[in-house]
Chains A and B, each alone.
Chain A
Amino acid sequence: MPQPTRPADERGPHTLSRWAERAARPVDGASLAAFRVLFGLLLLGSTLRFAASGWVARFWVDPDFHFRYWGFAWVPVPSEAGLHGLLAVQALCALLLALGAWTRAAALGFALSFLWTELIDVTTYLNHYYLVTLLTLLLAALPSARVASVDAWRARRRRGTEPVRGEGEVPAWTLWLLRAQFGLVWTFAGVAKLEPDWWRHAWPLTTWLHARSEFGWGLFDLPETAYAFAWGGLLYDLTIAAWLSWRRTRPAAFALVVGFHVTVGLLFQIGIFPFLMVVGATLFFDPAWPRQLARRLRGRAPERLRPREPAAATTRPHALPRGVALACGLWLAVQVAVPLRSHLYPGSVIWQEEGMRWSWRVMLREKHGDVSFRVRQGDTGAEVEVSPRRYLDGRQEREMSGQADLVWQLAQHIGRDFTARGWRDVQVRATARVSLNGRPPQLLIDPTVDLLRVDDGLGPKGWLRPAPTSAPPRLGRRPVTRAAATTTGDVPASLAIARR
């Protein structure tokens, strides 16, 4: 049977034109506004929680040493009062963003002040903090305040009652861009889960679920549960953007988003991440969903959220400005390229961590290490060991232990410290024994390399040792053997186990 041919204008360069025209087509700005409001409130809550938790002092004031991002060591560390001031700016900007007052400036203000605090110490890096930075930068550029905002109200007051064509609408590409941003997060998080430790060995979920045994009706110690979570998470991340994009599956997919992230949020301490992704998922609904919801909830929509008449048909197609197309293309290209850069490095990303940050490898590995530095006086050969605790707190030490670039940074600091104490020709080597996903500890860094004589940078680090080749241990509940159930001496049966 002959296949119907597609019209000529849906192929070749015309297809691109049609997509450009669709991207420029105005749609209801209500869903973008809802995202802005919810996101702003989320940021406000997060900022207040951060301050209330005493994390300003703990993360930025108390530590004597800060790990800096490559190329950003120049970023000044404000005083404690200055840091609280930055958080106050963030809280104010988040509130203004939610209200839609001076919206773009508020989004930019939040992004810059947040970025400043994030650049102070690498050990505070979280994937969702990076996502927050990207989203606020996007909102600084997108017209998110055309509906339900102080800005829109002020504009209406300025021009009086005269309606304006396109009021309350935004170009479709604004929603597409944000959807693409969230879609990339999910997709790359899914691709990262193709790591064998995750899907073949269910690590690190095995140990994390075990630690949450009080949940899950006692099922969290079963290896099968860890595998179910691992495979479920993998499939979820890889496909959820597609299910959200397809109208027929969208309701179930959104419920899945809520269920998945709420469950993960209940089990693990991951801050606003679950809420952020749920809020992001609302962008995939019909642009008018807030009006539909308001109508259902209140019987009729308030004036600001009345159903909009479809945009008047016009014979002239909507044009996507070339600058907008280029900027969006560039943004997305960067968002794709940055996570993919990890493939330029040899070896395992979760071991060497080259290309790990900003690549949406979310909760992918459990690493603990014992790092000690050996400082040698080159002219005498005398050597002493230096514990990282001399310079770091426990949180910083934990983060540093599995990240070679941070070990290198502390080695530089130790080198400077000992030189200042009068040591000559100082050499610093590190013994970093790291356990990746429950394996026996292995050397992460070549212990013979003087870290003061090698450079850190964007290139591959030749001084790293290869990743372990063994599989992670298989943990989980085992049947209790008769021998293990034997009690001893005068210890009550409920307390005693076999003496070995």
Chain B
Amino acid sequence: MRAKTTGLRQAGAWIAVWGALCVSAAGCGAKAGGTEPVDDGFDRAAMLTHIGERVVRPEVSAFAQRAGALATAASAWCAAAQGGGTPDASARLQAQQAAQSAWKAAMVRWQRLEVLRIGPAAMNDGELRDKIYSWPVVSACAVDQAVALRHADPASVDVAKALPNRRGLDALEALLFRADTAHACSPVAAPKGWDQLDEDSRWQARACYAAAAAADLQASGDTLSDAWKVGGGDYAAVLKGAGGSGNPWSSQREALNALSDTLFYLDAEVKGMKLGQPAGKVANSCGTADAPCAKELESPWAKHGKVNVVENLRAFEALLFGIGSDGVEGVSFDDWLVKVGAQALADKLRADTAALRKAVDAIPGALGTAIEDEAGRAKVTEAWAAGKEVSATLKSQFLTTLSLDLPDAAAADND
């Protein structure tokens, strides 16, 4: 019996030694996971800091400014459409064109933020993002219905409480860029009273709804900007402090994984939805193959689809290579790859991304025009194929090398 109890004692002693080692390792880990940089050859905190302060925050601020300019321009369009009781078509058109330019300027910045979707814009299942831009949930008919309702009774429609497809940049596009005043609904869903309105009233209804929608967009842009502003929400500081006590990111790894998630916008949205589906290379709502599908185009009225893709790529590169808004390159994923010895992979990503950008640039004219002829569609197909090359690398070797996960794939046990 004595021998047996001695065995138990020995086991206890061994466990104590192991336990002490494990606990001390975990304790050091907990400390290192805080705001102090980890001495492991790659400074994750520096990367999070750079992306937050130099890449995302300037874009958020720039978008908020442009959303403000758009609100001013849309308000002027409304005033011109009302014309103090005597509408002037030429003044209205001029104001509309100014608002269109303001929309394009805002959209350029937003398309970058579409990719850089981390933090406040992504919270609550992207609630704030959807208020600003709900694509691909877009409905010109829903917008027209809201316009007619608001024109009949301004108190009946509060844009700030409207569904995402009745507000934001997508709704504003439908209001600003359609050349005529016909509604976009089927006869059974026709906006109430719309057909009875004269042309001036329709423009007035549309322009003043746009003014309200643009004011709402400005408010959303300010909310987003405040969330990132130093002295406001300072979300860049939150990213920088990932893993620290009280920080919503439980670890730097979690924050980095969320950043890598945003890179996959290139795969699903850019490659699949913006290029592949309209070109008929990817299954689409038209149900056809190898044939253009204009229904799938993004920003069809503004003919802004290609610019959107270009700006998406700009943001993708900014994130992958750490290119700040000032054009200076800082610490990001490519440097992380180099630090772990995967220089060749970093170089491949750089080369493939450059090839993708070149292929997109080679698409003639607007995307909607390009897909309608064989030569143009071939160019769109080339860009789609170049996107496949980048996303294949991202989804395979990139994730494996940095031990990251696909979006929406983490948080389960393994063995």
What is A's interface to B at a CB cutoff of 8 Å? 53, 55, 58-59, 126-128, 204, 207-208, 210-218, 220-221, 247, 250-252, 254-256, 258-259, 262-263, 266, 268-271, 273, 285-286, 288-289, 292-293, 296, 307, 362-363, 366-370, 372, 375-377, 380, 382-387, 389-390, 393-395, 397-398, 401, 421-422, 433-435, 437-441, 473-478, 480, 484, 488-491, 494-497, 499-500
Contact = CB atoms under 8 A, between A and B. Distances in A.
Contact of B5 (A292, A393, A433): A292
A269 B413 contact: yes
Given A214-B32, A262-B22, A366-B400, A477 B40 contact: yes
B33 interface: yes
A168 B262 CA distance: 60
B28 A217 contact: yes
B415 A363 contact: yes
A213 B38 contact: yes
B18 A262 contact: yes
Contacts of B46: 494-495
Given A269-B413, A363-B414, A494 B43 contact: yes
B41 interface: yes
A440 B397 CA distance: 6
Given A292-B4, A496-B330, A369 B395 contact: yes
A207 B409 contact: no
B415 A254 contact: no
Contacts of B28: 215-217
A385 B268 CA distance: 12
Interface residues of B, number: 89
Contact of A434 (B281, B396, B405, B414): B396
B283 A386 contact: yes
Contacts of B400: 204, 207, 366-368, 435, 437-438
When A and B form their complex, which 8 residue pairs have the shortest distance between CB atoms, in order from nearest?
A255-B14, A259-B18, A394-B408, A211-B403, A271-B413, A251-B10, A382-B289, A435-B396
A421 B287 contact: yes
B49 interface: yes
Interface in B5-29: 5, 7-11, 13-15, 17-19, 21-22, 25-26, 28-29
A247 B29 CA distance: 36
A243 B326 CA distance: 62
Given A258-B18, A474-B341, A369 B396 contact: yes
7 contacts: A211-B403, A251-B14, A259-B14, A433-B396, A435-B400, A484-B338, A490-B326
B9 to A, nearest CB: 8
B406 A397 contact: yes
Contacts of A126: 413-415
A393 to B, nearest CB: 6
Interface string B317-336: 00000001010111100010
Q: Most chain-B Cβ atoms within 10 A of its Cβ — which of A127, A385, A422?
A: A385
A263 B38 contact: no
Given A273-B415, A395-B412, 10 more contacts: A207-B402, A216-B28, A216-B29, A255-B17, A255-B18, A368-B406, A386-B283, A397-B406, A435-B399, A438-B342
A384 B388 contact: no
A478 B341 contact: yes
A119 B392 CA distance: 31
Interface string B376-397: 0000000000001001111111
B10 A218 contact: no
Nearest to A260: B18
Interface of B: 1, 4-5, 7-11, 13-15, 17-19, 21-22, 25-26, 28-29, 32-33, 38-44, 46, 49-50, 54, 243, 251-253, 268, 272, 276, 280-284, 287-291, 324, 326, 328-331, 335, 338-342, 344-345, 350, 388, 391-397, 399-409, 411-415
A473 B393 contact: no
B405 A255 contact: no
Nearest to A414: B283
A292 B8 contact: yes
Nearest to B394: A370
A441 B396 CA distance: 6
A256 B281 CA distance: 56
Nearest to B324: A491
B406 A215 contact: no
Nearest to B281: A385
Nearest to B18: A259
A443 to B, nearest CB: 11
Contacts of B1: 292, 307
Given A255-B15, A262-B22, A128 B253 contact: no
Contacts of B26: 215, 266
B330 A497 contact: yes
Given A215-B29, A255-B17, A292-B8, A394 B409 contact: yes
Q: Most chain-A Cβ atoms within 10 A of its Cβ — which of B8, B10, B280?
A: B8
A438 B397 contact: yes
Contacts of B290: 382-384
Contacts of A395: 408-409, 412
A322 to B, nearest CB: 34
Q: Most chain-B Cβ atoms within 10 A of its Cβ — which of A212, A475, A495?
A: A495
A214 B243 contact: yes
Contacts of A366: 400, 403
A62 to B, nearest CB: 10
Contacts of B342: 438, 473, 475
Nearest to B44: A213
B340 A266 contact: no
A207 B276 contact: no
Contacts of B335: 497
A362 B15 CA distance: 24
Contacts of A384: 280-284, 289-290
A208 B7 CA distance: 36
A357 to B, nearest CB: 12
Nearest to A288: B4
Contacts of A258: 14-15, 18-19
A368 B400 CA distance: 6
Contacts of A433: 392, 396
B25 A385 contact: no
Contact of A499 (B25, B252, B329, B415): B329
Contacts of B272: 387
A368 B409 CA distance: 12
B330 A495 contact: yes
A82 B404 CA distance: 34
